[in-house]
């Protein structure tokens, strides 16, 4: 099988700190892969290596067949990259920004106008071509930044936290665009800490403390990572209840979710004992991606009953 993106034992260290630790990826054409994990998990460092911006400390990787060590400049020309702090020129118009990026990607003049018009339509900015970018909402700025990143019609699109700071409606619209591009055969990596976005991706790469915990589709991750049943318990004092519930026999994990607890009861656990330990109702629920992350982290020896920053 041909893969658009591969890595083998990819590692990046900064002095004594290991930011990315021995990760192995295989991503197919037409796939959207979410890099999911808390801040500082290694997502951005991994992305910067794949884009040819950072040189790995060890290990190898390829993008479109190009070696990320030897062919970094070729990779930069072949992919569309949108960083966390996307580079739009606020004192230029929508049209001027798109024309500038078309020039950077060396799009011929004879086809440039048509491609710019396509990107304006994609971003939903028809009639606002002459508006200064500074006057756009954050959601439209994000969509314009994506249009600038993909104006060269790249086969690989890499987006680093592209929807931070925008409304849920704007995030949905943005992700609709991403899915349209994937439908055209593009390979897309999108780093995020939003669970609803990750659910819409064909593959999820879970990162934590520089390590790749798992790489699979959402359904397989939920099936394989969760050994047992998850119960939701609404309680008045969730922090107080957490320690009591977590110490019960058969409870493999207990975590805070707002004013409720998610309790992972192992195959040998006693649901009647769990029910008697609380005055609240138990609700058997499907595992969430946050439950999966906590289960994976626990298997790696992390403290799984502490709140984490994913999805919050």
Q: What is the DSSP string of 6-65?
A: EEEEEEEEETTEEEEEEEEEEE-TT-EEEEE--TTSSHHHHHHHHTTSS--SEEEEEETT
Report the pLDDT value the prediction gives residue 70, as an integer from 0 to 100.
Answer: 96
Q: Residue 205 in 3-state DSSP?
A: strand
Burial of 168 (C-beta count, 10 Å sphere; 0-12/13-18/19+): exposed
Report the pLDDT value the prediction gives residue 269, as an integer from 0 to 100.
Answer: 86
CA distance to 151, 239, 261, per residue, from 243 (Å): 52, 7, 11
pLDDT bracket for residue 308 (50, 70, 90)? very low
Report the pLDDT value the prediction gives residue 1, as an integer from 0 to 100.
Answer: 63
| Whole-angstrom distance, CA of residue 100 vs CA of residue 95 | 9
> pLDDT tens-digit profile of 182-216?
999 999 999 998 888 999 999 999 999 999 999 99
| Whole-angstrom distance, CA of residue 304 vs CA of residue 293 | 9
Rg (CA), the chain: 22
The pLDDT of residue 98 is above 80? yes
Q: What are phi and psi of 126, to 5 degrees?
A: -60, 135
The pLDDT of residue 225 is above 90? no
Higher-scoring residue by pLDDT: 297, 61: 61
Q: Which domains does the chain have, with CATH numbers?
A: 5-216 (3.40.50.300), 222-299 (3.30.70)
Q: Name 282's bridge partners.
A: 233
Q: What is the mean pLDDT of residues 106-134?
A: 94
pTM exceeds 0.95 for this model: no
Residue 215: its H or E element:
strand 211-216
Report the pLDDT value the prediction gives residue 53, as an integer from 0 to 100.
Answer: 95
> pLDDT tens-digit profile of 10-38?
999 999 999 999 999 999 999 999 999 98
The pLDDT of residue 302 is above 60? no
> pLDDT tens-digit profile of 260-301?
889 999 888 888 988 888 877 888 988 889 889 888 888 876
Q: What is the mean pLDDT of residues 159-169?
A: 87
The pLDDT of residue 231 is above 80? yes
């Amino acid at each position: 099988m041909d893969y658009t993106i591969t890595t083998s034992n990819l590692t990046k260290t900064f002095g004594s700190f290991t930011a990315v630790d021995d990760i192995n990826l295989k991503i197919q054409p037409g796939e959207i892969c979410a890099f999911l994990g808390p801040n500082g998990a290694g997502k951005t460092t991994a992305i910067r290596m794949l884009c040819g911006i950072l040189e790995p400390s060890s290990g190898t990787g390829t993008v479109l067949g190009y070696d990320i060590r030897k062919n970094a400049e070729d990779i930069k020309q072949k992919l569309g990259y949108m960083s966390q702090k996307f580079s739009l020129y606020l004192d230029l118009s929508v049209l001027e920004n798109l024309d500038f990026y078309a020039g950077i990607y060396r799009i011929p003049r004879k086809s440039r106008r048509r491609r710019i018009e396509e990107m304006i339509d994609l971003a939903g900015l028809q009639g606002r071509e002459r508006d200064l970018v500074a006057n756009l909402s954050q959601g439209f700025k994000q969509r314009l930044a994506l249009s600038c990143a993909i104006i060269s019609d790249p086969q690989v699109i890499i987006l680093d936290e592209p929807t931070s700071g925008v409304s849920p409606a704007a995030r949905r619209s943005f992700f609709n665009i991403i899915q349209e591009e994937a439908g055209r055969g593009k390979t897309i990596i999108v780093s995020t800490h939003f669970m609803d976005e990750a659910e819409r991706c064909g593959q999820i790469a879970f990162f934590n403390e520089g390590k790749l915990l798992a790489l699979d589709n959402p359904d397989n991750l939920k099936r394989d990572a969760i050994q047992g049943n998850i119960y939701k318990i609404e309680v008045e004092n969730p922090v107080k209840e957490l320690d009591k519930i977590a110490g019960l026999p058969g409870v493999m994990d207990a975590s805070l979710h707002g004013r409720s607890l998610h309790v992972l009861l192992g195959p040998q656990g006693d649901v009647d004992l769990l029910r008697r330990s609380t005055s609240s109702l138990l609700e058997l629920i499907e595992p969430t991606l946050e439950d999966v992350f906590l289960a994976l982290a626990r298997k790696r020896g992390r403290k799984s009953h502490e709140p984490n920053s994913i999805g919050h």
